[in-house]
């Protein structure tokens, strides 16, 4: 009498049966011998628990499973909420495709990124990753979004809620960084320097003072920079139409009045006395050094 040995093997799959060879043993998959369509390569503790198991879908959208067994294997999974790859302990069998040998494998498969937006979700591409943009170009984002100017390309993305940056309060954001940026101070009508922490700022965040001044209605101080009391000068937020339809803005420091004419291409210093129509436009005069008469 002859006996035929029965195929004895372990099923490591969470659902269904593994792909079998002609001798009715599980097909041992590896990088050079991939699984057929509809299956994925389950890598267990050893060869006996490595097999082609039925696919359960996109690994990046599956909930992590510790599986079953007695093993403690260090693996990585993709956390869809944090959009980061994190370590976990796998028991050896009964897992799913959200199970990576290395962090690099996880990050190359799933859309790993930090949401730099202060509110809401970044505008996503079909790949599941945020659309990168150019802070100097408003058209690099959809009309409903604005470009968050992060410290690098990974945190420079299109965020929801486009508003006029010149009417938004300064936001230092979040993070460990101290980046030199500029914001528009609406009360002073000036672009001022501040430290940005890296992410979750707002649109009132410019890389350079020049880009801030080009975007927002900056009030230029016409008084000479050599004036001793310049640090105490401030803009009076009103305009006046003078003879010849020249619009002028009033600046005052200690005991002096200065006017900046917006009618001319090159700003000219104007001195105004207590009589509003008495204007001196002679460029040779140091207008700001003339005391109020």
Per-residue pLDDT reduced to its tens digit, 58-110: 999 999 999 999 999 999 999 999 999 999 999 999 999 999 999 999 999 99
Same domain, 208 and 240: no
Domain hosting 268: range is 230-289
7 vs 228: which has the higher pLDDT: 7
Residue 61 is assigned to a structural domain of this protein: yes
Residue 107 is assigned to a structural domain of this protein: no
Please determine, for residue 197, whether its predicted confidence score (pLDDT) is greater than 50: yes
Same domain, 142 and 196: yes
pTM exceeds cut of 0.75:
no
Same domain, 94 and 19: yes
Same domain, 66 and 32: yes
Residue 277 is assigned to a structural domain of this protein: yes
Rg of the chain in Å (alpha carbons): 33
CA distances from 25 to 36, 43, 94 (A): 16, 16, 18
Same domain, 93 and 25: yes
What domain count does the chain have?
3
Q: Which of 192, 215, 238 is the last residue of a domain?
A: 215
Same domain, 176 and 269: no
Specify the residue for token string 């067994």.
69
Dist CA 64 CA 57 (whole Å): 13
192: domain CATH number?
Answer: 4.10.410.10
Using an 8 Å Cβ cutoff, are 94 and 68 in contact? yes
């Amino acid at each position: 009498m002859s006996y035929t040995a029965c195929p004895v093997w372990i099923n490591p799959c969470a659902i269904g049966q593994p792909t079998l060879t002609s001798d009715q043993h599980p097909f041992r998959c590896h990088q050079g011998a991939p699984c057929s369509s509809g299956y994925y390569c389950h890598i267990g503790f050893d060869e006996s628990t490595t097999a082609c198991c039925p696919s359960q879908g996109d690994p990046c959208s599956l909930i992590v499973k510790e599986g079953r067994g007695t093993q403690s294997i260090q693996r990585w999974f993709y956390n869809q909420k944090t959009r980061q790859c994190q370590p976990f302990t796998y028991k050896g069998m009964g897992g799913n495709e959200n199970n990576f040998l290395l962090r690099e494998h996880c990050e190359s498969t799933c859309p790993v990124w930090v949401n730099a937006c202060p509110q809401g979700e970044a505008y996503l591409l079909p790949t599941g990753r945020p659309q990168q943009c150019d802070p100097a170009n408003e058209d690099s984002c959809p009309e409903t979004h604005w470009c968050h100017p992060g410290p690098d390309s990974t945190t420079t993305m299109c965020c929801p809620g486009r508003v006029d940056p010149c009417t938004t309060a300064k936001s230092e954001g979040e993070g460990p960084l101290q980046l030199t940026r500029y914001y528009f101070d609406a009360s002073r009508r000036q672009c001022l320097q501040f430290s940005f922490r890296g992410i979750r700022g707002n649109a009132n965040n410019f890389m350079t003072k020049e880009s801030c001044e080009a975007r927002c209605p900056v009030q230029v101080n016409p008084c000479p920079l050599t004036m001793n009391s310049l640090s105490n000068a401030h803009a009076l937020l009103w305009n006046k139409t003078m003879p010849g339809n020249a619009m002028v803005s009033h600046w005052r420091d200690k005991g002096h009045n200065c006017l900046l004419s917006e009618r001319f291409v090159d700003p000219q210093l104007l001195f105004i006395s207590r009589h509003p129509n008495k204007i001196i436009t002679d460029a040779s005069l140091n207008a700001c050094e003339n005391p109020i008469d």
